[in-house]
């Protein structure tokens, strides 16, 4: 009897599906950057002006993002270092300092756009002026970041992304969607007249510098590299599932934005290029509830993307000192503050939200090539990655994607001026 009891105690059956759930989370933090207020604006413009025709851009951009984010996550799993730490450790100081310095500026630029998105949502919901709304969003995100661990923040983000997704499901249930055209739009590339600017905008808003730092940071916090080779290989597999699931969720939410705009604004021949305008027009077309839910989802998107931008800023700043992000560490705290406070000051100095968004896109467009090609250099180095170094074909693919994203961002920057 004692032997049977002992066997029962030692027998702990494991479920692969349940085991996978432990690794879901890092990708969803990255997904937030894929559905931030900037993406809302470009998706609504795409749907209102071209209907379902540009849904393929979301499909293509999602595939592109899966490849790039999967690669940077490998860096964190294999080395136990985030992108900023690896840059500090493996690149000459004369290169690493300017790279991380420019990345910190990109983090400020990202926070500027995300805080503005949250402030615009507060104006929609409560008629709060943009500057006061920006202060509220900044303070709320600072409190969350400086008082919560990774695991708690991940749970918050998962909840926010879930609510945003459910909000759009509700919105789509209220409108008459032509699903046949939607399916065609997802898989069939088309280039309607005068659509290139919107196409570049949708694609250009996908890969953001801070998300590359963020993904590697969250992944390395698990310290899977300290385990044996079999465990590392297992984590590499599970990480891909996490990234794939998260990007599919991002694809679905971005698609829902375009479909909503196509089924309402495009149908009524109304072109939308501002978030406030979209919310105001939804009310007479779909009902007051739709307008409120739209604004509430935007607020969650603004807050959650500001939080992830703050983590990225903290990770980058801590990387200067060869440290990982830790919400209790001084360097990480300073990184969050340095990401948020200058962004808030710029909002006060510029005043015009549209000019603020242009400024943020300009800085991101300039910095993105630096981050992408730094990542490719590190993951293609045998010294850094050992046996998990990129294959030649993977390196070529990453260079091509990096070049494509860079050209799109520069083209978007030129178009803004």
Dihedrals phi, psi of 151, to nearest 5 degrees: -60, -40
CA distances from 406 to 125, 203, 280 (A): 36, 10, 34
* pLDDT value at residue 382: 93
Query: For the residues 169-194, what does the mean pLDDT come to?
Result: 92
Longest Cα separation, the chain:
80
In the numeric block, the tokens 């991940």 are attached to 154
* pLDDT value at residue 6: 45
Binned at pLDDT 50, 70 and 90, residue 413 comes out as confident
pLDDT at 59 over 80: yes
Q: What percent of the chain has pLDDT over 90?
A: 38
- 314 close to 335: Cβ distance less than 8 angstroms: yes
* pLDDT value at residue 267: 85
* pLDDT value at residue 115: 94
Q: What is the pLDDT of residues 10-39, one digit of tens each?
A: 444 444 444 555 555 566 777 887 888 888
Give the pair of three-digit tokens for residue 103.
Answer: 């990345």
Query: For the residues 120-136, what does the mean pLDDT come to?
Result: 93
pLDDT at 85 over 80: yes
Displacement of CA 291 from its chain's centroid (Å)? 24
């Amino acid at each position: 009897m004692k032997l049977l009891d002992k066997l029962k105690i030692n027998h702990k059956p494991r479920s692969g599906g349940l085991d996978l759930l432990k690794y879901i989370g890092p990708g969803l933090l990255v997904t937030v950057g894929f559905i931030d207020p900037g993406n809302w604006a470009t998706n609504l413009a795409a749907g209102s002006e071209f209907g379902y025709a540009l849904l393929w851009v979301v499909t293509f951009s999602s595939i592109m993002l899966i490849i790039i984010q999967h690669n940077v996550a490998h860096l964190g799993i294999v080395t136990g270092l985030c992108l900023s730490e690896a840059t500090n450790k493996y690149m000459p100081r004369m290169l690493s300092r300017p790279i991380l310095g420019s990345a910190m500026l990109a983090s400020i630029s990202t926070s500027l756009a995300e805080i503005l998105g949250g402030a615009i949502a507060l104006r929609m919901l409560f008629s709060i002026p943009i500057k006061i709304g920006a202060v509220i969003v900044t303070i709320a995100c600072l409190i969350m970041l400086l008082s919560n661990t990774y695991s708690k923040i991940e749970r918050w983000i998962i909840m926010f992304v879930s609510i945003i997704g459910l909000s759009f499901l509700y919105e789509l249930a209220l409108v008459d969607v032509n699903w046949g055209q939607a399916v065609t739009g997802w898989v069939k590339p088309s280039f309607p007249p005068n659509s290139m600017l919107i196409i570049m905008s949708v694609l250009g808003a996908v890969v953001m510098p801070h998300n590359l730092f963020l993904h590697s940071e969250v992944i390395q916090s698990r310290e899977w590299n300290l385990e044996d080779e079999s465990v590392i290989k297992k984590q590499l597999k599970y990480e891909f599932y996490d990234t794939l699931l998260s990007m599919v969720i991002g694809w679905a939410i971005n698609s829902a934005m375009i479909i909503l705009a196509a089924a309402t604004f495009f149908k009524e021949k109304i072109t939308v290029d501002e978030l406030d305008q979209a919310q105001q027009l939804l009310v007479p077309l779909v009902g007051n509830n739709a307008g409120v839910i739209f604004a509430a989802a935007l607020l969650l998107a603004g807050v959650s993307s500001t939080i992830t931008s703050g983590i990225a800023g903290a990770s980058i700043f801590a990387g200067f000192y060869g440290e990982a992000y830790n919400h209790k560490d001084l360097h990480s705290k300073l990184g969050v503050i340095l990401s948020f406070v200058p962004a808030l000051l710029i909002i006060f100095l510029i005043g015009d939200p549209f000019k603020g968004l242009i400024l943020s896109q300009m800085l991101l467009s300039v910095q993105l090539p630096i981050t992408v090609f730094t990542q490719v250099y590190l993951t293609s180095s045998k010294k850094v990655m050992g046996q998990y170094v990129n294959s030649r074909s993977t390196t070529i693919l990453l260079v091509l994607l990096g070049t494509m994203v860079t050209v799109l961002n520069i083209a978007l920057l030129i178009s803004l001026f």
